Structures are given as C-alpha cells and as structure tokens.
Structure 1
Amino acid sequence: MSGVIEQTTGLTGLQEAREATARAREYLLSLQHEEGWWKGELETNVTMDAEDLMLRQFLGVLDDQLLAESARWIRSCQRDDGTWANFHDGPADLSTTVEAYVALRMAGDPVGAPHLRRARDYILDHGGIEATRVFTRIWLALFGEWSWDDLPVLPPELMLLPDWFPLNIYDWACWARQTVVPLTVVGAARPSRSLGVSVRELRTGTPAPELDPVLSWAGAFERLDTVLHRLERLPVKPLRGIALARAERWILERQEADGGWGGIQPPWVYSILALTLRGYDIDHPVIRKALDGLDGFTIRERTPDGWVRRLEACQSPVWDTALAITALLDGGLPADDPALLRATDWTLREEISTGGDWQVRRPHLQPSGWAFEFANDYYPDTDDTAEIVLGLERVAHPEPVRLRAALDRATAWVNGMQSRDGGWGAFDADNTRTLCEKLPFCDFGAVIDPPSADVTAHVVEMLAARGRSGSDRARRGVRWLLDHQEPDGSWFGRWGANYVYGTGAVVPALVACGLPLSHQSVRRAVDWLVRHQNPDGGWGEDMRSYADPDWVGKGDTTASQTAWALLALLAAGERGEPVRRGVDWLVRTQRADGGWDEPQFTGTGFPGDFYINYHLYRLVFPLTALGRYVEVTKHEHNG
C-alpha cells in the first residue's frame, strides 16, 4: 500500500498510537473549508450518472461534452465480466448494468463493441429488461423503450388521501414520499420521447410472471394494480385534475434553497420531470434553479483517458462536520481551538427553524434540528441532530448562552420525535405502517422509516451527554435497544454496514446511560465483536450481509469498521489483545498523510439495494477510535 507508515515492532505502543492520532488530526484539519465545514465525497454507483444523462436527454439539454465525460466515467467502472456493481467488489447488479449500457449506447458506443457485448450477454442471461427493477423500467418507458402499461400504477389521487388513511403519502418514508409524489405526475402523463438509440436488444421476450396467490398481500395488490390500469384507460377521471394540481403545489412548496428536493437525487430528478410535464419550460426559474443545483452535485476529474464527470447522489456536510468535530476533540484538539469554533459557528447557522413534513405526526413540536445536507430544511433528522449535539456539547464556545440555547432546542426536538415504541427513526416519528411495502411499485429500497438501533443509540448517547440518562425518554430508548439486540449479541445497522456499525453505535450509548460493563447485553456484544475480528487484527463487514447471513460480520478489513468495533470495545472497558490488535492495524495501515485507504463501501442508503462510500469515514472514525484509545491508555499508565 503506497505511502503507508511502516511499523513492524509488534503490537502498537502508546507512542505510536499518539503519533498516528496526531497525523490523522492534522490531515483532518487540512480538509476543513474556510467557512468551517467538512465534506467528503459521497460515492455510490453509476446509476446516478446514467439517469442524469437520461434526464437531460428527456429535457433536450444534453450536450456532447457532458455526455462524453459521463460516459468515460461509466466505462471506467465496468468490470472485466462486462457488468457494473452497486459497491466495491460486490456482485453484478442487473438494473445498474442495464442503465449503464443504455448510457453508453446514448454516448455512441456501438452494439458490437466488446465491452457492450459482454454487458449484454450478462443482461440477457439474467432476464433482460423484463427482470429489472421498476425504476429502471420507468426510465426506459420515458423513451418508449418499455410500455407504461407494463408498469405498476401510482395514481395521483394518492394526494387526496387524508393522513390517517392507509397508503397516504405520509405513510411513506420522507425519501420515498418525495419520490412517489412526482412519479404520480409522471405516470399520469405517460410521456414518450426519443432516446436517440434503441436498446431493444436487451429484451428476452420472457412473459410477465404469474400473479401471486390472491389471499397474499402481494397478490391482492397485484390485482388492485390490474384494476387501476383499467381505470387509467377511462376517458374521464373526475378527481385527476385536482390531484395533479395538489401534487404540483406539494412539489413546488418543497423545493429547497439549492434548487433541489430532499437533498438527494431521486426526488430531485423526478420532481424536475414532473414539473416539466406540468408545463414548466426549461427556462422557468424553478427548473433553471433545479438544474443549476444539480450541477453542484457533480465532480469532474482529469484522468489519463480524459476528463470524467460523476454525480453524487447526495452531499453530507452537516453529518461530516458533526463527525469531524467529535474526532478532533477525541484526537486531542483543545475545545476552544479556532477550527472547532469555526465549525461550531457554521453548524449553529445551519440549525433549522422552520416546519416540515415531520409535523404531520408531531404537529405541536417546535422546530429545530439539523439536516444531513447544505439545504434540506423540510427534513431535519434525528441522527444528524444527535451527532451535532454530542460534538457541540464539548466545545468551549465564547458564547455559551447562545450555544446552550441551540442545544436545548435541538434536544427538545429530538425528544419529541421519539416513536411510541421507545425508539427513534431518522426523519419521522411512528413511520411504521408496512402496507406500502406490499405495492408492486416497491421492489427497490426501504420505503418506511421505523426506529433503528443505530439512530436510537446515537440519540440515547446524546441524552446521556446532556445529563438526561435518567429521563423517561432515555430509559425507554435503552429498553428499546436491549429488546432489539440480535440473538448472537450484535445489533443491526440501518445506516452503516452493518452489524459492526450497529454494535459499534449501541454499546457506547448503553454504557453512557449507566449500564454496567458486566451487563449481559454488553458482554454478549463484546463476545460477538471478538469472534468477528479478522486475522489481521481489524474488522470488516461486506454489504452482502444485508441479504446473506453467511456474510454477517465478515468482509475485508476497513479503517472505518475497525474503528466502530474499537469504539464499542473501549466503551465496554476492554483493553486486552483484541483492542491492541485493532489499534495496531490502524497504525500499520495509516498513510503517510494521516489518512487511510478504503475503497470498500461502509455506508448504507437502502439495506440490500443502495450503498455509500463516505470518503470521510476512513478518517474521522479511526481518529476518534485512536484518540479514545490514547486517552484511556494514558490514564491507565499514569494511574
């Protein structure tokens, strides 16, 4: 590994750990923006780039340079077998491969080119377009490459359902809700524009599968979809105009300051499509602002083959800044360091003071909290807010009254977002109705936002840091965590991979809330982590663990996952060989600049479907773990 610090004298000593911590701390400081924030790249997969090209083709604004640079990036991500995957070294993904193939055909790559022939062979061997997910076939339907008649119906009349009625839009998670609403407009319009090429060579001609049994939820909704298709053919739909107008207004009201929707790619692009189909031309201020904002999510790099262009699915400055503040504090930076004060001031300016969709379930709760992105005021989330409070609680700010007031508002907001069962979801409270998961449309990604172990743990740890570990809300949160421990001693990770992430979040929270180190839940978690330590001393868990139990706790060692395991073990009072070997791995693999290499994806968007490589994870979490190791070891040596 190029530029790695060499250390071959056995297990790492305190001095080596101190030096590694210092290098990581200085490297992280060098990455801070002058305004005070941090933002690492948020890497996903090439569907972002392929769909961006299809969007611009649909709008008639696709230019040759953009097409060539994006196609160059997509080609560079193709594997030797002709396929594309959704994470580093992951299995081939059919829908991703189809969308990448379509993009390269748009770029002029000939059907007979060897790289497309290999891709096409895989696609046809695995069921062709017919076997892709609904979202891929929606994109193809926009260009007449798939029939709208063969897609599930999402009628815009959904907008007219009251929020207590099953399948109303607030039954969906915020990310799904913001995608579904514009798609009802797109599906009602059933547009078909020119792709410039045809990809019918990707069809197998396989007939649609038979319907599921009528007495199953899937079968019932499939038959309902058949009825909805018939209703779509009626010449008169009495409520259609009202529903479309309401959907249009709903979309317009939720456009953010940066031009986007929800700060993420799917609702952003589908909202653009929906509004143009409602008559907004390309030069309308709403559309112009949306496209300009989307351009801000692009990364251009010069490579030996020429410039490449790729699109981030989202940007994470608030989250990254929260984690960086904690890492620097744990890494030994003084609490009143100017870098921390700049970060704190920027973060305080980002506090949300307006209402959002979360008020449907919590109408009397006063606004506060932080979102994940630069601009997403409708959707603050409890996870970001908890991590911000955990970091800012430790900063020695020159305006303590101002800081304390913000932390009090944020704590009250997070408290109010607790679900009835005692846990916390990320964006909404009590977003637990599973009926929408049964719809034929929902074959990709999580569509509800129930409480999760990692989010609940971060909130509980935040409450403990604020001196509220004995509160009723904290006790109910702890009870939720204890009740949701897996039989093997781990916890499921909703937003990070996977059981290592969940366990790494929960153990420090339980200990912070006063659970004794001897508690059986803590000991079982420690045993699970020790059992899953890799021979090289680190930890890793492959994304396949979400779908295949054989991968649980198994995978190539990564810096971020090793740090998560160490944070749990250190919190649990462990100081023995497993900890020392984990620290040793981090020190041995650190680059000369203070960072770590981590091509593996360790962040989760949708378990089983969509994954993220947060480029800052490989730095902030190891720095946090090393800093805490140095601190406890130093005190024990001094003692």
Structure 2
Amino acid sequence: MNFDQKAPSYFWDTCKFSSKNGQQSWDFELPEDLKGIIQSESDWDKPEGVAFLEAFDRAFIFDKKVNPNSADRVLRYSRNKQVGEPKISPSDDSLSLKERARISLLNGFSFYETLQEPDGNWAGDYGGPLFLIPGLVIASYITETPFEKPMQVLIKRNLWNHQNEDGGWGLHIEGHSTMFGTVMQYVTLRILGEDLSNPQMKRAQDWILRHGGAIKVPQWGKFYLSVLNVYDWKGNDALLPEMWKFPKWVPFHPGKYWCHNRMIFLPMTYCFGKKVKAELTPLVQELRKELYTADYDSINWKKARREACEIDIYHPVNKWYYRLSNIINGYERIHSNRFRKKALKYVEDYIDFEDTYTRYINIGPVNQAINSICVWHNHGRDSEQFKSHVKRWKDYLWIAEDGAKMSGYNGSQLWDTGFAGQALIEADMETDFPEMAEKIYRFIDSTQIERNAKDYSKYWGDVTLGCWPFSTIDHGWAITDCTSEGMKTAILYNSREHIQKKNHVHIERLKPAVDWLLKMQNKDGGWASYEKQRAPKWIEVLNPAMLFENIMTEATYTECSSATIQGLKEFTKEHDYRQEDIKRAIDRGAKFLESKQDPDGSWYGCWGVCYTYGTWFGIEGLLTAGHKHYENGTPSPEIQKACDFLLSKQRADGSWGESFQSCVEHRYVEHEDGQIVNTAWALLALMKAKHPNKAVIEKGIEFILSRQESTGDFPQEGVSGIFNGNCAITYTSYRNVFPLWAIGRYYKMN
C-alpha cells in the first residue's frame, strides 16, 4: 500500500475535531485503506501500519524558519470541508476606505463564521510553551498509559518541527534554546521511542552535555526528572507537604500563593512527600547515562540543588529563598513521620477536591499532568479517579499543521468568544450574521458558572457561582477579566431585541458576578486575575523557578483592572444594583491604572505582547472611568501621553509591530515586521480616545486591509500572548477578531 502519493489533506482528514459545550477533542479515525488491517495498537507494527505512520509523519513537517506559529490549518481545513466556503464580496481599490472597510468586515465575519463551532464558541491553537507536553508524556509513561500510535507520531513531529538550529529547544516556540526546554523534549522523545541513532537526538544530547548536563536544569526540570527516576530526590530543595499545615497567618503559606503556583506546588508536595518515582526500567537507566557529564552514582546531589544553566535564568533566585530552603532542607532530615502523614492526607484531599470541582480538567496543563501521577499513585491505575484524568488529557491536546502539542489551558473558548461577540456588536453587524450572534449569546449564557465548590474555604477557594471562566463551564475557575468580558458581552446582546434569548442572562444572574468583582478589588484599587491578593508582594523573593516572574502571589494587572472597570460600567447602564459601590470601585480602579502608566505614556501588558496590548487596555479603562478624550476638548494628561506613545511607535507602512521580547525586557522591542494584531490594538486605543489625526488611523486601517486574504481570513503572524514575563503563547483567534474589531470601530467612526 503506497501512502507516499497521498496529499497532506488525506492524513489531515484522519484527525477529527469536536466541541461539546466548549469541551474540545481531537480523535483519530482510520482511513478506509486501513480499516480491517489496524484493529489494535499492535497492528501498527504491520507493514501497512508502518508505511502509513511514516507518511502521516511527513504530512505534518513544518518549517519554523518561515514562522514558528502554526496557522491552525488543520482545523480550518476541516471546518471548510464541513461548512463550505465563506460568502465573499468583491472589493475595488477605487472605492473609498469606508466602503472597503465595510466589504472587509462582511468578508472577515463571513469567513470567521465558518470557524464557529455548533455550540457557539471558537476553538483554536492555544499552544506555544514547549514545557507542557513533556509533563503529560512523563505521566503517561509512569502510569503505563501510552497515547495511541498516531498521537505519538504527531507529538514527536511537533517537537522535531520546533527544534532550534543549535539542536536545543526553548521555553516556547519562539524562544532560544534552554536547558529546561532541551532536557524536557529530549526525555519526551526518548519515552516516545527515539534514540541516539537519530542524528537529531544526538545533536540535542550534545547541546545538553555541552552546557553542563541535566544537573543544570532549573527546579521544575529537577522535579520532573526526579519523578521519572532520572534525577535523585535528594537533588531537590524540600517540597514539604507540612507547609500546608502551617498557621494561616504565615506570609508564605502555600494557600496564599497565586493559584497556578499553588495548584502546581500542591501535587509536587505529594510527590516529594511520597518520593514518587518511576520503576528503574532500561530506558531510565539509559537516560541516567545520556543526560549527565559524570557517572550518575557519583553525582553530589546536595550540591546539585543549586546548579542551573545560566542560559535559563530569567528571574534569579534570591538569597532569602536559599536561606529559607536551608531551614526547610534541615527539617526534611529530621521530619516527623506522623506529621508528614497528616499533612499528606490534607494534600490528597485537596487534590481530590480540585479534581472533582474542575471535573478532572484542573486549573491548567502542568497540574493536570502532576495530579494524574498523584491520583494514579494514591488511588490506583484502575480507579475511577485516574480514568477520569486520562479522559481529560484530550481536552489539552491540540493538532495543527506542526503536529500535536499541549495547550496552555483546556482552550480559550469563553475569552475568544466574548471578544468576537463584542467585535460583531461594535461593527453593528449582528443583523448581517444573526446565526453567529445567537450562537455567541448561547455560549456566553451556557458558560456562566453554575456552582460553588463544596467546602471551598477549606481548600483556599472562593465563590464562583455567577462568574465566567477563561475556557469552559466544566473548568469552573472564575477570573476577573473573563467574568467582566462575559458579563459585558451578555449585557450587549441582551439589549439586541432580535437575539432569541432562551435563557436570558437577566439581572439576578448578573448580581453574583457584580458582587464577586467588587469583592475582588485589592487595596491598591486594581484587580488581580483569579483571587484577591493574599500575601505581601515581598514573597516573590521566595520564587525558586528561575524561569518566570510574578508567580508567588496574585498581582494586580492593568488588563484585569481595565476589563473589570468596563464590565461594571456596562452593567450600570442597564441596572441600578449597587450603583454607588460600583462608582467607588471604578474611581479607585482608575487611580490604579494611572499609577501603572509608565513615564513614556505606555502600560506594560502582562498577558499580551505587550505595550500595544497594555496601552489599549489602559486607555479603554481610563476613558470608561471618566477620563476625557480628544473630542471633549483637551484630553486628560494620561490619555494624551498614551496616544503620543502609540503614535511614536507607528511604522512607515502604517502598522505597529512588537516582539514578545518587549515582555521579557520590559521595554518596547520592534518586531522585524508590522503585525496586524499589534496594529489593531493600537488603532482600537487611538479611536477610543477619538484622536483627531485621522490620517494616522486611516494609514493603520489600510495596512490591516492590505493583509486580509481573499478568503476573508488574516495571516498568522508572530506570537501575541505572554504569561509571567517570559513565556509566549499562541492565540490563533486574535488574528481574526482584533483586526475586524479595529475595522468595525473605524467604520462606525464619524
């Protein structure tokens, strides 16, 4: 059977995507040529199976030199086959810019409607970080729960596609090679069957050894290798489960950590307390030989705790962490077994609590993988708890033309759908696309969280009823900006009489969201992401990760604060509930935004790239809170400085282009090319401020129109998301939503 003559689409057709209530799943479907031949996993070793997998692998070869970001071609190809071509209206350069903008909107939304899932959301590639999939592959190896062969091929292909020219891998797809990235991908590939007979593996091993070996992997890498039994637990600073039993007044109690850090530290303490590790298999023994520059049994593990590759260090470990860890390491040598057992019982219950509440999705991909290991170890491989975890692995796996990767969440469904809904409304096109609009409203309606966790206060949680998540209702973690964008979108659609509201998002359903947002405002007037700040900012000196910043405690963000101000303000236009409280909160929020503005007029973006993103939110927030724009006479100084900053960064072709390095270096770093997403954010901000220089705005709109493709789609350009200062992440929806939003705002502009 010759598969070499098959087009890539033949192999893409075997990857079937589905979405139900936002829950995403990619499943492999045998082509007709293999039905009756492949009936079990062992059948892939048959000649026909081997031939198919080799050709299947080649169909996902991807050249990262062109652009390391996938364009989500597999999903978009699949949707095109299901729903057909978008309705495209011809444009003509002789038309006015306003007329061409109208046509662009019709074509852009027509295309984007073809990507909308039947349940109302938009699915997309939310990958980028390269350290996520290794955790899941390690979990699958330890628990003896392998992925099916085609998925293994796609995972390996994705890693090969993103190997850097020097043989290593970075923290994310646009990053330089690091010890953490390279060791984790090397181990993953070895688990999936690659060995040193492959020259690419040898290049990766050479990179590792040339930079000092895996002894120099940062703390997260040390943890993963310890669980895999490729690094001794004695080489880790103690991850004490007893810390969970500290008095609540202790400033660095783990219950006060930022929730993502807290929910990763939690299963780590279980693994450390139980010294969980894989069996000493031949593969483990080989890895012990391959990853180190010295004999494994001769390594000084206590000294290894402080070893780290200089290339990896973004946030150096503070002396206060070392002082505290010395005390904790000392305790580990003399710890009470009775107290350890009691602490571990709390940790076990807490993990079960998180699993049950999130319906086994967990807050994110890292603790999904580590929780899976803990649950397997605690409850057993045949337990319902572990089986429930394995079912949710698919929620995190995404297939694109560069192979299979693990997403940074179980998707960004609510977030993307809310923005799409607002863009459609602002362009005044919900009547042109009534089915799209109704499906948006239906998804916003059905994704409002309908529950509080039982005993949430026992496990450092909070109320969630009436809020919105980032992804799906099953995930269930409430977030300030997602709640605000969800509420804002619901209110905007409530005011459109032609939208069929089967389950109206009425005032009684919005009150809990308003109450929660008001409760979440911090002392400085700003809003954090998931929770109020629980610990002093100084505990960031205890950050041991080296890879990220601002992970120890919740921080107040420009984006979350601006979104919350906008959501609360939109609520007050329709309802009288807690008007005075909301006004006070907005006034305090505005002062916070003023305090976060940099001297050059910009705002740093913590969740997007970077100053164009943050400045868009800063301007929107302040104007919503009552600052003057240009048409009200002299704008407020903050608005004028922000607009001046944006104007200073516009390129000759009318665009804005910003590199993710802006986030890393905390200064504006130009991208080598103009970027439609950065351009859209800058234009949205300038138009919101009603900047009088129409020529500048029109030049930016011309740039966006020039990048629109004949199908109505826009190209995938550079990475546009970021988290914790140093890790870039992909939002493939941004290339469609934000350019259309900017064009729509321009079209409605006087």
The residue correspondences of 1:297-308 to structure 2 (distance < 5 A) are 297-300=396-399, 308=403
Residue 492 (structure 1) aligned with residue 604 (structure 2): yes
Is residue 430–residue 450 contact of structure 1 (8 Å, CA) maintained in 2?
yes
Residue 231 (structure 1) aligned with residue 331 (structure 2): yes
Residues 1:567 and 1:375: Cα distance change in structure 2 (over 3 Å): same
- Whole-angstrom distance in 1 between the partners of 2:358 and 2:571: 33
Residues 1:162 and 1:407: Cα distance change in structure 2 (over 3 Å): same
Q: Which of 282, 285, 294 pairs up with 2:393?
A: 294
Please state how far the C-alpha of 1:157 moved relative to its aligned partner. Answer: 0.8
Please state how far the C-alpha of 1:587 moved relative to its aligned partner. Answer: 0.3
% identical equivalent positions: 22
Please state how far the C-alpha of 1:358 moved relative to its aligned partner. Answer: 8.4
- What amino acid sits opposite 1:285 in the alignment? E
Matched with 1:456 is 561
The residue correspondences of 1:590-601 to structure 2 (distance < 5 A) are 590-601=708-719
Matched with 2:439 is 342
- What amino acid sits opposite 1:514 in the alignment? G
Residues 1:443 and 1:179: Cα distance change in structure 2 (over 3 Å): same
Is residue 537–residue 584 contact of structure 1 (8 Å, CA) maintained in 2?
yes
Is residue 604–residue 666 contact of structure 2 (8 Å, CA) maintained in 1?
no
Matched with 1:621 is 738
Residues 1:555 and 1:408: Cα distance change in structure 2 (over 3 Å): farther
- Whole-angstrom distance in 1 between the partners of 2:110 and 2:530: 34
Residue 433 (structure 1) aligned with residue 536 (structure 2): yes
Is residue 217–residue 307 contact of structure 2 (8 Å, CA) maintained in 1?
no
- What amino acid sits opposite 2:186 in the alignment? Y
TM-score scaled by length of structure 2: 0.77
Residues 1:189 and 1:594: Cα distance change in structure 2 (over 3 Å): same
Two-structure CA RMSD over aligned residues (Å): 3.2
Matched with 1:67 is 152
Q: Which runs of 5+ in 1 are unaligned?
A: none
* Matched position secondary structure for 1:601: coil
Matched with 2:122 is 38
Is residue 179–residue 267 contact of structure 1 (8 Å, CA) maintained in 2?
yes
Please state how far the C-alpha of 1:151 moved relative to its aligned partner. Answer: 1.0
* Matched position secondary structure for 2:230: coil
Q: Which of 80, 105, 108 pairs up with 2:193?
A: 108
Matched with 1:277 is 377
TM-score scaled by length of structure 1: 0.89
- Whole-angstrom distance in 2 between the partners of 1:82 and 1:134: 22
Please state how far the C-alpha of 1:301 moved relative to its aligned partner. Answer: 5.7
- Whole-angstrom distance in 2 between the partners of 1:60 and 1:345: 40
Q: Which runs of 5+ in 2 are unaligned?
A: 1-65, 74-87, 309-315, 573-578, 630-634
Matched with 2:471 is 373
Deviations 1:254-288, CA, capped at 9 Å, x for gaps: 2156643434101111111122232x111211110
Is residue 171–residue 448 contact of structure 1 (8 Å, CA) maintained in 2?
yes
Q: How many residues end up aligned between the 2 structures?
A: 624
Is residue 605–residue 611 contact of structure 2 (8 Å, CA) maintained in 1?
yes
- Whole-angstrom distance in 2 between the partners of 1:435 and 1:538: 39
- Whole-angstrom distance in 2 between the partners of 1:321 and 1:218: 41
Matched with 2:451 is 354
Deviations 1:53-95, CA, capped at 9 Å, x for gaps: 2111111122571433321221122133222234454322331
Is residue 263–residue 375 contact of structure 1 (8 Å, CA) maintained in 2?
no
Matched with 1:189 is 274
Matched with 1:514 is 626
Q: Which of 519, 537, 546 pairs up with 1:416?
A: 519
Residue 558 (structure 1) aligned with residue 675 (structure 2): yes
Q: Which of 300, 313, 316 pairs up with 2:412?
A: 316
Is residue 38–residue 321 contact of structure 1 (8 Å, CA) maintained in 2?
yes
Is residue 677–residue 734 contact of structure 2 (8 Å, CA) maintained in 1?
yes
Matched with 1:203 is 292
Residues 1:629 and 1:217: Cα distance change in structure 2 (over 3 Å): closer
* Matched position secondary structure for 2:106: helix
Residues 1:555 and 1:474: Cα distance change in structure 2 (over 3 Å): farther
- Whole-angstrom distance in 2 between the partners of 1:103 and 1:536: 43
- Whole-angstrom distance in 1 between the partners of 2:96 and 2:739: 15
Residue 242 (structure 1) aligned with residue 342 (structure 2): yes
- Whole-angstrom distance in 1 between the partners of 2:164 and 2:226: 27
Please state how far the C-alpha of 1:5 moved relative to its aligned partner. Answer: 12
- Whole-angstrom distance in 1 between the partners of 2:565 and 2:670: 24
Residues 1:15 and 1:86: Cα distance change in structure 2 (over 3 Å): farther
Deviations 1:82-118, CA, capped at 9 Å, x for gaps: 2223445432233112211122223333325332233
Residues 1:484 and 1:302: Cα distance change in structure 2 (over 3 Å): closer
Greater shift in the superposed pair: 358-367 or 105-114:
358-367
Please state how far the C-alpha of 1:589 moved relative to its aligned partner. Answer: 0.5
Q: Which of 493, 496, 502 pairs up with 2:614?
A: 502
Q: Which of 611, 625, 628 pairs up with 2:728?
A: 611
Higher RCO structure, 1 or 2 (CA under 8 Å, sep 6+)? 1
- Whole-angstrom distance in 2 between the partners of 1:352 and 1:346: 12
Is residue 5–residue 588 contact of structure 1 (8 Å, CA) maintained in 2?
no
Is residue 189–residue 277 contact of structure 1 (8 Å, CA) maintained in 2?
no
- Whole-angstrom distance in 2 between the partners of 1:542 and 1:295: 31
- Whole-angstrom distance in 1 between the partners of 2:626 and 2:356: 41
Matched with 2:367 is 267
- What amino acid sits opposite 2:412 in the alignment? S
Please state how far the C-alpha of 1:458 moved relative to its aligned partner. Answer: 0.8
* Matched position secondary structure for 2:563: helix
* Matched position secondary structure for 2:169: coil
- Whole-angstrom distance in 1 between the partners of 2:638 and 2:669: 19
* Matched position secondary structure for 2:626: coil
Matched with 1:442 is 545
- What amino acid sits opposite 2:592 in the alignment? W
